A and B are shown apart, each in its own frame.
Chain A
Amino acid sequence: AQSVAQPEDQVNVAEGNPLTVKCTYSVSGNPYLFWYVQYPNRGLQFLLKYITGDNLVKGSYGFEAEFNKSQTSFHLKKPSALVSDSALYFCAVRDIKTSYDKVIFGPGTSLSVIP
């Protein structure tokens, strides 16, 4: 069965410091992986995805993520955090072996960037 884990409920980082939001996944086949961000009282916004190819994926707002197949991880990173990055971050996975379009979302990680 597909599953996504985000081991940290909350991540705090000082403005200007690098940030990492962790994600690990479990699928029976190869995964499609996504990161979304949710600002207060808003819907989710797509940040980036891994489908195939280069393990380092670059996305919106300076975010990037690294796919690591051996560790089944897809951690989200940014070299220098901004206060405006404070939000709820969701990792999501889709198993390409399934014939139907079902995305499993992780529980979310709340990121606080401290001025």
Chain B
Amino acid sequence: DSGVTQTPKHLITATGQRVTLRCSPRSGDLSVYWYQQSLDQGLQFLIHYYNGEERAKGNILERFSAQQFPDLHSELNLSSLELGDSALYFCASKMGGDLYNEQFFGPGTRLTVL
């Protein structure tokens, strides 16, 4: 158990809908990262937050947004969902914003868009 929690574990929804995925980092970790894992795209970095501020953006669609709250938990909002958004969404955390330490991954949220 990495200490990173994600809810819900599974989410099934319809095209055009909006969902929110939640991540609680390990105690004391200030950085939160979001990733999308799909069979055709592999593991794609979406966005990084550090202590409430956005630090880096990856391949995140405009329909997707994220934020990190004062208690350091983070939410990933996915709107106008399409079939291709079906994937595993992971969040990861680490203590600081340094470049050399490893990230700790949560168990993921499996999103299915029908």
Binding site for B on A (CB under 8 A): 32, 34, 36, 41-46, 49, 51, 90, 94, 96, 98, 100-108
Contact B42 A102 (CB under 8 A): no
Assess whether B14 is interfacial by the CB under 8 Å rule.
no
Known: A51-B100, A98-B99. 13 other contacts (CB 8 A): A34-B102, A42-B107, A42-B108, A43-B105, A43-B106, A44-B43, A45-B2, A96-B100, A101-B97, A102-B48, A103-B33, A107-B42, A108-B42
Assess whether B58 is interfacial by the CB under 8 Å rule.
yes
Contact B107 A101 (CB under 8 A): no
Contact B108 A104 (CB under 8 A): no
Contact B4 A96 (CB under 8 A): no
Q: Using a Cβ–Cβ cut-off of 8 Å, how many residues does chain B contribute to the interface with A?
A: 26
Assess whether B90 is interfacial by the CB under 8 Å rule.
yes
* Shortest CB distance A89–B (Å): 12
Contact B42 A105 (CB under 8 A): yes
Tell me, in angstroms, the Cα distance from A46 to B102 when the chains sit together.
Answer: 7
Assess whether B56 is interfacial by the CB under 8 Å rule.
yes
Q: List 18 A-B contacts (CB under 8 A).
A: A32-B99, A34-B102, A41-B107, A43-B90, A43-B107, A44-B105, A45-B2, A46-B102, A46-B104, A51-B100, A100-B55, A100-B56, A101-B33, A101-B56, A101-B97, A103-B103, A105-B45, A108-B43
Assess whether B31 is interfacial by the CB under 8 Å rule.
yes
Main SS class of interface, A: loop
Tell me, in angstroms, the Cα distance from A45 to B102 when the chains sit together.
Answer: 10
Tell me, in angstroms, the Cα distance from A27 to B19 when the chains sit together.
Answer: 36
* Shortest CB distance B47–A (Å): 10
In the complex, which residue of chain B has the Cβ closest to the Cβ of A43? B105
On chain B, the residues within 8 Å of A96 by CB distance are 99-100
